[in-house]
Amino acid sequence: MPRLLPYADLVAVTVLREALGETVTVETQLDDRLLQRLPYVFAEVVGGTELDPAFASRPALSVISWAEGSKQAGADLAESVRVALWRAHLSQRTYAGASIARVRALSMPYEQRLDNQPSEVFRFVAQYELILRPATAH
């Protein structure tokens, strides 16, 4: 059966890959080798709601970004993600079969260190709420 609402993970990574370019790895599944592939962005839908069964969804998107070198580099990568989502909303372009009707930060990017994290790697976490509309009516 065909999807009615867009696959939000794919919409997000399509936007981010285009905006961040080939020098940043953007994925929806964590890679065990991510520290060898920095800078790295992991984007995943972690919930949300349906606004209309066929015309709008409101996914919650978790974004974790890793950069090396300085805390500023990590903060800049996280801010680039936020700006990319905002600009995709403003453009109203179609990405992977959907447009972003709205974007809102549920949690602005902040540094969150892990116990085993190398000191030269900086990990930032943020959550966004998107409103996605399919590109075609059903």
Domains detected in the chain = 8-134 (3.30.2000.30)
**Once rounded to an integer, what is the mean pLDDT over residues 82-94?**
97
| Average pLDDT, rounded, for the chain | 95
pLDDT recorded at residue 137: 62
pLDDT recorded at residue 136: 79
pLDDT recorded at residue 38: 97
SS (H, E, C) 11-43: HHHHHHHHHHCCCCEEECCCCCCHHHCCCEEEE
Q: Which pTM was predicted?
A: 0.94
Q: Angle at which helices 8-20 and 71-91 pack, to 10 degrees?
A: 110
pLDDT recorded at residue 2: 83
